[in-house]
Amino acid sequence: METSTKDFWENRLAEDWTETGVGYRALGAAFNTWMYRVRRAVFLREMAAAPIDLPTAEVFDIGSGTGFYVDLWRELGVAGVTGSDITTAAVNNLRGRFPDSDFHPFDAASPELPVPAGAYDIVSAMDMLFHITDDAGHAQALRNAARLLRPGGLFVFSENFLFGPEQRGPRQVNRSMHTIERELAAAGLEPIRHTPMFVLMNAQVDAPWLRRRAWALVMRTVTAAGLGGLAGRLLYPLEMRLLASRREGPSTELMICRRIEQQ
């Protein structure tokens, strides 16, 4: 019997509540450490420049996992962060790690919200929406983000935004830019900015097939040889230079949307 999405992540995070557990597990802990340094740099840069007053902003984070982005929101100096996760393991651990914040069990694909609607200035959903494999559930997650926001509030999330054909697997669906933009519009969310989170250091999902296969082969070889840390250290400065100059990438991207005010 196929394991449900909730059970899959419950088991995985109960076993490994680290950035590797929620990250690209096949690449190993050492390379994931460098990947999260890239994520941190891009996220802090983009949110520091976002059109919102961070010191007064209340944030709701969907799919908080280990609390990586909760920590970044706190570093940015927001007024408060409320978190959530589909797994009991993550919620319990997050409550212990951040005792001054609230954390709620929440399936983002469900229409039931764990908190009052319209109570937040920012909603974030980082590195998790592509794990919602059900299309109706994915659209519901975007509607939920809009429902949680005050009019004019910001939705910050990461997706793969393919320009090529959609890619479907049992635990991840890489959707097209067209599909995601259509769902955002239906939810009342208007994109105002998007930028690559990776160019070289994450799976080349929106690149030609041969490049995708070559990347996977090289990274498997590097990981098997125990060279993930060295590869990450060498690629990191090049990755940051590329990210500073590109507006599109072959991998995960960050998008910021504004909730459209009803007329």
- For residue 109, what pLDDT is reported? 96
143-202 pLDDT, tens digit each: 999 999 999 999 999 999 999 899 999 999 999 999 999 999 999 999 999 999 999 999
- For residue 1, what pLDDT is reported? 41
Task: Name the more confident of 19 and 60.
Answer: 60
212-243 pLDDT, tens digit each: 999 999 988 998 888 999 999 999 999 999 99
How many domains, in total, are found in the chain?
1
37-68 pLDDT, tens digit each: 999 999 999 999 999 999 999 999 999 999 99
Global pTM reads 0.94
If you average pLDDT over every residue of the chain, what do you get? 93
**Which domain does 79 fall in, by range?**
5-259
Query: Which CATH number is 174's domain given?
Result: 3.40.50.150
Residue 2 has pLDDT above 60, yes or no: no
HEC string of the chain?
Answer: CCCCHHHHHHHHHHHCCCHHHHCCHHHHHHHHHHHHHHHHHHHHHHHHCCCCCHHHCEEEECCCCCCHHHHHHHHCCCCEEEEEECCHHHHHHHHHHCCCCEEEECCCCCCCCCCCCCCEEEEEECCCHHHCCCHHHHHHHHHHHHHHEEEEEEEEEEECCECCCCEECCCCEECEHHHHHHHHHHHCEEEEEEEECCCCCCCCCCCCHHHHHHHHHHHHHHHHCCCHHHHHHHHHHHHHHHHHHCCCCCCCEEEEEEECCCC
